[in-house]
Structure 1
Amino acid sequence: MNRVPMTVEGAEALRSELDNLKKVERPAVVQAIAEAREHGDLKENAEYHAAREKQGFIEGRIQEIEAKLSQSLVIDVKSIEPSDKVIFGTTVTIIHLDDDQEVTYKIVGDDEADVKNKKISVNSPIARALIGKEVGDVVVVHTPSGVVEYEIDTVAHL
């Protein structure tokens, strides 16, 4: 089985969602189905069909989260001795060599990636170029718009 890397925060977010689905969403939809059944004819009962559809989505999402958590390898970067080397979970500040623009990214698992919040997937082109490199190294990233060079400025274990 391939283990999928995940940060502590990512695993906590999935567990929290799973808990909410099992303790809040699932009972609510079961109740909605029971109430809709009382309205009689199920063939033309839109509330019943909507509730059943939502139930299917909830059950599917529960299975998906449980599978992801069972395959995850939770990595707590704060427990790893800090160094200048880029590894999964580190927060990396890089400088675009063409225009000296600085950008900071946290390297996270696929499910946690959120570019708006500066979290990039470990499988993204930038992260793949950065992993294993150190502060001061220049990395070449192949993007759809061409080749971009960055210098690694800082690596933090946050």
Structure 2
Amino acid sequence: MNKSDLRLTILGMLEQKLAIAYSSVQRAIESATDEETVPEHKYDTLALEASYLAHGQAMRVQESEKEIRRFRELHLPESPDKVVLGTLVTLVDLDDNRKQFFVAPCEGGMKVQFENQTITLVTFESPLGKAIKGTQVGDEVRYQAGDNTYYYEIETIS
């Protein structure tokens, strides 16, 4: 599987997210500055609330831009022998079900359809990410999320 193409797919999804954020900030700004939101009395806070929303949406845009930069700058190791940032990992559970994870700098939990497979982004801050960090092919992984304990074996790292 070509990780460079996978990164391009992820970047496309992040750019769509950014476009939505831009659109949301524009609508919030328009709402905050609309003539109909001008306060009629001291308890009329519609314009103030809209400005808070615009600020929050602007922060969302900044975060989206930062995530895109992080993915563009992400080093993709060519033949890793252990799980590091930028690796694609296949895990096998106790029922021989395979799951693929891409170790990403951000956007943990995002699912990507790529080459007819579902790949889930995982960060080292997550319980699974902490459990697989630095592991090698054949290692067994155990992690807990909530009340559930999960067991996997590292099948491949690329």
Same fold (TM over 0.5): yes
Letter in 1 for 2:98: E
Return the alpha-carbon distance in structure 2 between the equivalents of residues 38 and 75 of structure 1. Answer: 44
**1:1-158 correspondence runs (5 A):** 9=10, 13=14, 17=18, 21=21, 24-36=23-35, 41=40, 43=42, 45=44, 47-62=46-61, 64=63, 74-77=73-76, 80-96=77-93, 98-109=94-105, 111-114=106-109, 117=112, 118-135=120-137, 137-143=138-144, 144-145=146-147, 148-156=150-158
RMSD: 3.9
- Structure 2 residue runs of 5 or longer lacking an equivalent are 1-6, 113-119
Cα separation, 1, equivalents of 2:79 and 2:31 = 51
Larger relative contact order (CA 8 Å, sep ≥ 6): 1
- Cα distance between partner residues in 2 of 1:115 and 1:39: 40
User: 1:132 is paired with a residue of what secondary structure?
Assistant: coil
Give the Cα–Cα distance (whole angstroms) in 1 for the partners of residues 43 and 140 of structure 2.
61
Structure 1: runs of 5 or more not aligned: 1-6
Q: Identity percentage over the alignment?
A: 21
CA distance in 2, matches of 1:128, 1:40: 50
**Largest Rg, 1 or 2:** 1
The two structures have a TM-score, normalised by structure 2, of 0.61
What is the letter of the counterpart of residue 140 of structure 2? V
